[in-house]
Structure 1
C-alpha cells in the first residue's frame, strides 16, 4: 500500500504545528507561492516541503534558520530537481483555438471592474449607458484572448519572427475593426439609470467569466479523454521545439538545439523519440523556463503600449478642445507604471 502524501494546505499547517510557531507556516506559504509562480509541479512541491518539514520536526529548528529565505530555497530545490533530469515544470499543452471565447469571457470579467470604477464615479449619479461602455470589456477581452491564443499557436509551429508577423496579421484587422465599431456604439444608448446599474453590469460580466472558465475546463477534459495521435520523430522534435518556444519562452536557436540533441540521443539508442522521452509535456518539463527572455519581451511590449498612450495624452493636452478623456488619462498613467513595474520585476528575478 502506497503512502499518501498530504495536500499542500495540510502541509503548510503542519509547519506551524511542528514547533508551535505560526511564522513557520508563513515560510512554507511563501515557498509554495514561489513554486507556483515558477510553474513547478505539485508532486515536486509536496515532496520538497515534506522533506523540509521532517527536518524541522526532527531538529526543532525553524525552516528559515535551517534553509534560509523561502524564495531562494524554493528556487534552489526546483533547479536541483531540474538538473537531475526530473520533470519539474507544469507544462500545459498549447492553447486551442476553441479556447478563445472562454479566455475572452474571463478577461472580460477582469476588465469589467476597472471599467465600472472609471465610468461609475466620473459620469454622475444619473447616467446614459451606451453600448460601447457596456460591451468594451467583452470586446477587449475577446481581442486579448485572440492575441494570446494566436501567438501560442503560431510560435509553436514557426520561428518567433514568423509567429509575430502571423499574429499581427490576425490581430490588426480586429484592432481596426474595433476602432471603427466603438465610436459607432458610443452613439447608441442602451438605457438610462443610476450609477448603481454598474453593479449589475459587473455581476453579468463575472457570470460570463465563470461560464468561460467552465467551458475551458470542459474542453480540457474532452481533449484529455480523447488523447493524442502518436508522433513520428520529425513531428515529435518539431513539436517539442515549438512547446519550448511557446510555454517556456525559449529562443528559436535554443529550442531547436534541445530538439536536435534529443533526436541525436534517440538515434544513438535506436528507439523512437516518443518511446525514449515520453510525451512532449513530460520532456519539456525537464527544462526551466527562460523568465529573463519572457520578461524582456513583456517589458518591450508594455513600453511600446506606454509610449502610445503617453503620446496620445500629450496630443490631447496640447490640442484645443475639452482636454483628454478619462481613458486617455488612465492609459497615460497606468501603462508607464506597468512598464516600470515589469522592469523592476525582471530585475528582481535576474538577481
Structure 2
C-alpha cells in the first residue's frame, strides 16, 4: 500500500483491518497498536503507513492480526525499536510542523475550549450570558496562544538549553497576552445580546467542523523526512544538538555526551561527521527516549500552569475580600485539571526512572 493510498486517519486505518477479513477483532488489534503509537508520540503519517502496510497481509492470509503479528502493543514497540535501528525519526515533536497540522490543531483546540468555556460560564453566570464577538473568538485565541507557546518553546529548545527556552517562551506569552487584550477591546462592543450559554455549542460545532474537514481533506505530508545533509562538522554538530533537544526526552548532559562521542569517533575514523553517521536527524533517532526526562518536563509544565488559577484566585480575594464567587468554580476546575495532569506526569517520570535504572 503506497503513501497515497494510506487512509488519512488512524480511525480509518483501523476500519480497513475490519474490512480485510470482516472480523472486528482485527480492528480492535489495530486500534490497540494505534493507541501505543499515539502514547509514544509517533508521527501520525508514519504510524498510519506502518499499520496500513499490514492490511494486505491480513487480507491475503485470512489469519487474525493477533496470530500474525502478536500482541498489538508489543508489535508497536518493536516497530519503534526497528525505526531507531534504521535511523528513522519516528517520534515527532509534540507541536504541529506543517500548515495542515497547525490549522487542524488550532480549530480542534478551539472546539474543545468552547465547550469548556460554556460549562464554566453556565456554572458561574447561569444559563444566560451577554454573548459578544470577543466571547466567540476567545476559544480560538486561547487555542492559538497555547499552540503558539508550544511552537516557540519547541523552537527555542532546539537552539538553547532549558533556561533560555523558558525565557523566550515567557516573553512571547507576555506579548501575546497584550495582543489578546487589544483584540478584546475591539471586539467586546460587538454584542449579540443576552443569549443562552448553549449558543457556545454552535461556535464549538463550527470550530470542530473546520478541524474535521482539514484533517480529512488536506493531504498528509510524506512520513519519511528528506535527509538533512550538512556541509561542515560544526554545522552537523549544531543540527544534532537541535534534533536531540527538540525531542524533549533527552537531558542536556546526554546531548553533550552524544555530540562529543560522535566527534571523537569521526576523528578516530578520519572521516567527516556526515560521512561517518549520515544525517544528524537520522543519527539522533537512533537513541532511545528517556521516559523519566519526558515525564519530568511535562510534570513541571503542568505544575507551573497550576499556579495561574491560584494567582487569579488571590487577585479576586485581594480585590473583593474573601467571599464566595461564581468564578471560583472555573478556577477550581482549572486547578484540579492541572494537578491531575501534573500527578500523572510525575508518575510517568518516576516509572521511567525506575525502568532505566540499574
TM over 0.5: yes
Q: Tell me, in whole angstroms, the C-alpha distance in 1 between the residues paired with 2:97 and 2:47.
A: 24
Question: Where in structure 2 are there 5+ consecutive unaligned residues?
Answer: 7-12
Contact 1:120–1:198 at 8 Å: present in 2 too? no
Contact 1:99–1:216 at 8 Å: present in 2 too? yes
Deviations 1:94-128 (A, max 9, x none): 86799998465553343223223333576445432
Secondary structure (helix, strand or coil) at the match of 1:249 reads coil
What's the counterpart of residue 144 of structure 1?
Answer: 146
Matching residue within 102, 107, 110 for 2:109: 107
Q: Tell me, in whole angstroms, the C-alpha distance in 1 between the residues paired with 2:94 and 2:230.
A: 15
Q: Tell me, in whole angstroms, the C-alpha distance in 1 between the residues paired with 2:80 and 2:280.
A: 20
Q: Tell me, in whole angstroms, the C-alpha distance in 1 between the residues paired with 2:282 and 2:127.
A: 56
* Structure 1 residues 210 and 4, CA gap change in structure 2 (3 angstroms): closer
Secondary structure (helix, strand or coil) at the match of 1:127 reads strand
Q: Tell me, in whole angstroms, the C-alpha distance in 2 between the residues paired with 1:172 and 1:215.
A: 35
Secondary structure (helix, strand or coil) at the match of 2:191 reads strand
What's the counterpart of residue 234 of structure 1?
Answer: 234
Farther-moved stretch of structure 1 (263-272 vs 90-99):
90-99
Q: Residues 111-190 of structure 1 correspond to what in structure 2 (within 5 A)?
A: 111-119=113-121, 123-175=125-177, 178=180, 188=189, 190=191
Farther-moved stretch of structure 1 (253-262 vs 292-301):
253-262
What's the counterpart of residue 338 of structure 2?
Answer: 335
Deviations 1:33-66 (A, max 9, x none): 2134321744994599689979x978x99549x8
Q: Tell me, in whole angstroms, the C-alpha distance in 2 between the residues paired with 1:81 and 1:238.
A: 23
Q: Tell me, in whole angstroms, the C-alpha distance in 2 between the residues paired with 1:43 and 1:205.
A: 25
Deviations 1:307-327 (A, max 9, x none): 442464477579344524043
What's the counterpart of residue 87 of structure 1?
Answer: 88
Secondary structure (helix, strand or coil) at the match of 1:194 reads strand
What's the counterpart of residue 282 of structure 1?
Answer: 282
Secondary structure (helix, strand or coil) at the match of 1:87 reads coil
Secondary structure (helix, strand or coil) at the match of 1:116 reads helix
- Offset, 1:242: 1.2
Q: Residues 1-351 of structure 1 correspond to what in structure 2 (within 5 A)?
A: 9=14, 12-13=17-18, 17=21, 22-23=24-25, 25-38=27-40, 39=42, 41-42=46-47, 45-46=50-51, 63=67, 67=70, 69-79=71-81, 82=84, 84-87=85-88, 89-91=90-92, 102=103, 104-119=106-121, 123-175=125-177, 178=180, 188=189, 190-195=191-196, 196-206=198-208, 209=211, 230-310=230-310, 312-313=312-313, 319-321=321-323, 323-325=325-327, 326-346=329-349
* Structure 1 residues 61 and 46, CA gap change in structure 2 (3 angstroms): closer
TM-score (normalizing by structure 2): 0.70
- Offset, 1:4: 7.3
Q: RMSD of the alignment, in Å? A: 4.7
Deviations 1:292-314 (A, max 9, x none): 21211111221232244246447
Q: Tell me, in whole angstroms, the C-alpha distance in 2 between the residues paired with 1:181 and 1:252.
A: 38
* Structure 1 residues 182 and 327, CA gap change in structure 2 (3 angstroms): farther
Question: Where in structure 1 are there 5+ consecutive unaligned residues?
Answer: none
* Structure 1 residues 184 and 9, CA gap change in structure 2 (3 angstroms): closer
